[in-house]
Amino acid sequence: MIQKPKGTKDVLPNESYKWQFLEEKARKAAATFHFKEVRFPTFEVTELFQRGVGDTTDVVQKEMYTFESKGEASLTLRPEGTASVVRMFLENGLYGGSLPAKYYYIIPCFRYEKPQAGRLREFHQFGVEMFGTQQPQADAEVISLAYEFFRSLGITGLTLNINSIGCPECRKKYNEALKDYFRPHLGELCETCQGRFEKNPMRIIDCKSPICQEIAKNAPRMLDYLCDECKEHFEKVKGYLTAMGIEYQIDPNIVRGLDYYTKTVFEFVSNQIGAQGTVCGGGRYDGLVQELGEKQVPGLGFAMGLERLILLMEAQGLSLGQDETPEVFFVSFPETVEKAMQLVHDLRCQGITAECDLMGKGMKPQMKYANKIGAKYTVVLGGNEVESGQVNLKDMASGENIPCQLSDIAAFLKERK
């Protein structure tokens, strides 16, 4: 038996409604904040992620699904959405439109990671990106969108952690301080981090190796190195969050695992879903558009993992909607199959979910099936019923029989809905 690849998941027919529910809520939250949906390719030229996400990150160094494509440039299944949205923004000249530009996406992403609860190799993100504004109000708006989305789902107990990792200017001083700190431990760091030491010492802080984590514990913190502008920006973001009634904690250890961030970074974290507790992560990336396309356009956004969100909602016993069931099932006999087909088709054309037997089953198994699929009403359609036009609608929950004209069934069901 061929099985699905490691770290992937099937969404079975009896659980797909949960995904539809979440996606609908995400679309609604994004629309309320006036973010427009964008769709973009599942794979991109590998260089986009190398330059965008950064070639000293775990994502680029260890986790990308990269393949050669019949003599063309190397391609990679997207590990995240931001780099692609920036590419799309540049390639389509969207910077020439009105700014800020606000986009959202719901996409599968791919990372070659060790699978565990809440960590998959194919997972799904709901993300947003905003372009064109350096103002701290924008940071607060993006955070408030994630916050409002979680609230609309009834989620409680998430902690919002925020930090500032400054701009390239203040980062220079910080990188020097980091190097001074790590230098005596250089030989103990993992091989990847030894390579990061010169190029990007901040990456050592979010290395997953336990030894590097232990060493990095007391590393200098970016917050102590912020320049005046970055400090003021961070103060204002905090002020707006407070004004909106959004509680947060400062976590000076957040550096995020992707290279493009500047200034504000944030994560929504749960302690109810195991080790992979970060449900949402994001921040500002004022240099990324310039890095990829020579246009100086600031940006910011977040992405949240839908699998982790479902885990969390299930842990909290929250509703993820419900499965749709048919309004009515027509139990037919060989001589009334044609009439049943006609009636079902007629109801479906009016938007009513109706079912009839497609298996040539007898009456009892048909009733059993109708019960199993959760039909709200059943109608036994014998020759007499077809002739007289008079039937009984059986309420499957109460067992009550409601007499009805065949021609009135649509109106009856619409009224009950």
Nearer to ligand HAM, 10 or 387 (CB): 10
Nearer to ligand HAM, 132 or 257 (CB): 257
Helix%, strand%, coil% for the chain, nearest 5 = 45, 20, 35
Residue 276 CB, nearest approach to ligand HAM (Å)? 7
Residue 221 CB, nearest approach to ligand HAM (Å)? 20
Nearer to ligand HAM, 194 or 272 (CB): 272
- CA 253 to chain centroid, in Å, comes to 24
Nearer to ligand HAM, 119 or 295 (CB): 119
Query: Which residue in the shown chain puts its C-beta closest to ligand HAM?
Result: 305
Residue 13 CB, nearest approach to ligand HAM (Å)? 22
Find out whether 354 and 347 touch, Cβ atoms under 8 Å. yes
| Number of neighbouring beta carbons within 10 Å of residue 22 | 21
Nearer to ligand HAM, 111 or 339 (CB): 111
Phi, psi of 169 (to 5 degrees): -65, -55
Q: What is the largest CA-CA distance in the chain?
A: 94
Rounded Cα gap, residues 402 and 379, in angstroms:
10
Residue 104 CB, nearest approach to ligand HAM (Å)? 10
Residue 116 CB, nearest approach to ligand HAM (Å)? 9
Closest CA to 232 of 166, 141, 294: 166
Question: Which residues form the interface with ligand HAM (CB under 6 A)?
Answer: 80-82, 111, 113, 118-120, 123, 125, 127, 129, 257-258, 278-283, 301-305, 307-308
Rounded Cα gap, residues 412 and 402, in angstroms:
10
Nearer to ligand HAM, 201 or 277 (CB): 277
3-state secondary structure 175-198: HHHHHHHHHHHHHHCCHHHHHHHH
Residue 254 CB, nearest approach to ligand HAM (Å)? 10
Find out whether 258 and 198 touch, Cβ atoms under 8 Å. no
